[in-house]
Structures are given as C-alpha cells and as structure tokens.
Amino acid sequence: MSEAMPSDWELPSFDALEITAKAARYALVVPVINEGERIRGQLLRTAAEGLPVDVVVADGGSTDGSLEPEFLRSCGVRALLTKTGPGKLSAQLRMAYAWCLQQGYDGIVTIDGNGKDGLGAVREILSKLEAGYDYVQGSRYMAGGLAENTPLERTIANRGIHAPVLSLSGRHWFTDTTNGFRGYSRAYLLDPRVQPFRSIFMRYELLFYLTVRAGQIGRAVCQVPVQRSYPKDAATPTKIAGWRGKVEILRQTFAAALGFYAP
C-alpha cells in the first residue's frame, strides 16, 4: 500500500510510469541515462535471473530510445521514473528512493545501469538486508569478488584514497566505496539522523554520504563480494569525464568524510 511522501522531502520533479503491479518486498533501483544497448541487455538478463525484486528504472532523462515502455514491460520492469528537474545521479536516487519508500518497500538494492555488474550478488545483498543489516556495500576487491579490466587509475583512487577516507569516517572498513552496487534498509533511509531527501545531494554526494552515515549512527553495516567488469577493448562506460570530474569526486568524498552533509 502506498503512503504519502512527507512534505519536507526535497525531490526533483519527475514523471512516474507504473508498468506492472507491486509484487516484491524489495526494489532494485537502476539509475541510467543514455546507456543504449547496455541497459537493454542488462534488463533482459535481470528478467532471466528471476530475482525476488521489483525493478525500478531511475532515468535521468535519456534521449536514446532505450527505455521504451513496451520493452520495459517485456522485461517485467515495475516502474519507469523520469527525472525532469535539476541534478544528476544523487537527484535520480532521491527520486527513486522516495518513490520506493512511498510504495512501501522494505529495502532497496541499487545497481548501475551500464551493464558492468554481475547480477548474482543481488540475492546476497537481499539476504544481508533480511538478516538485519541496514547498509550493504558491494565490493569487487574482497575475497570472492571480481575486478575485471578496471582502469589502473580507478583502482589506485578507489583503494588508496576513497575507501580508506570513507572507512575511517564511517567507522567500518570498506574496500570499494565508489561502487554503486549496494543495499539499504527502509529503516536506515527513514532514520531522522540521516535525512537523504535534501537538495544538497545533486551529483555523487548521496552515495558517499550514505556510506559514512550508517556506521556513524550505529546502523548495522557489511560488505559482500560482487563482480564488476569493464570492456577490454572499448571506452570505459562512465559519466565521470576528465580531470575536473575526478577532482570533483574527491571533493565530494572529503566533504562526506568531514561531516559536511550531516543534518
């Protein structure tokens, strides 16, 4: 049963197209923008996996025709949410998480929509949420994980800077904090000490903030092994372009670690 969204939640304007009825306790949120055949292939593989989730596509405004409603229906997608207001990834996630909570889901798993991630870990993340964990981080670097063709500069930044900084701030050791493959409990997202539905989260800030905030407020956290594969002889699928984008990621990382986004 759907619930009313609190009036103080700051959300971008968006359109919601409900394609199928609610059928699961957990939602699989897939943020995407102009991923073409990558997202179409991923959604087909997701349908074939028969995962116990409702798939919710969080579109940032794709113009490539990859998210036609009839195709999404053929993949069993629950809903297509299309952001029409300002902001990038964090705005897409605020939109999607708010909608999923309003729809009554017990928790949310997020996976990127560019086809890099192995879907098998979705069940492991769900099992951790069912066991009472509030934040479950996917890691390609822990035992059982796979980091295939990861660009060297990303490995150095992830393991040498990003993960240590957020782990120290979040009071729990993580090995792959740039990975968007993760899960959140409903209780964590609704904890008044978190307040993720604020317009300060526009780009990648929300991912980093939710990583550190869980441990800071004593929520149960863990990480699970996942697989992430980059194409061997093709351009890296990413929305982070150039050195300016990479510097901005570092700025947001340290802002999250230093408590800048805490309510």
CATH code of residue 195: 3.90.550.10
Closest C-alpha among 160, 153, 187 to residue 175: 160
* Contact predicate 107/127, CB 8 Å: no
Q: Which residue has the tokens 């959604």?
A: 43
- Three-state DSSP state, 86: coil
Closest C-alpha among 84, 208, 118 to residue 158: 208
Residue 114: give the domain boundaries.
Answer: 14-257
- Three-state DSSP state, 186: helix
Q: What's the number of domains the chain is made of?
A: 1
Query: What span, in angstroms and rounded, lies between the C-alpha atoms of 136 and 145?
Result: 14
Q: How confident is the model at residue 150 (pLDDT cuts 50, 70, 90)?
A: low
Distances in whole angstroms, Cα of residue 253 to Cα of each of 21, 122, 140: 38, 25, 19
In a domain, 9, yes or no: no
In a domain, 3, yes or no: no
Residues shown for the chain: 263
49-92 pLDDT tens trace: 999 999 999 999 999 999 999 999 999 999 999 999 999 999 99
Other CB atoms within a 10 A radius of the CB of residue 27 amount to 26
* 193, pLDDT greater than 80: yes
- Strand 107-110 versus strand 146-148 pairing type: unpaired
228-252 pLDDT tens trace: 887 776 555 555 555 677 788 889 9
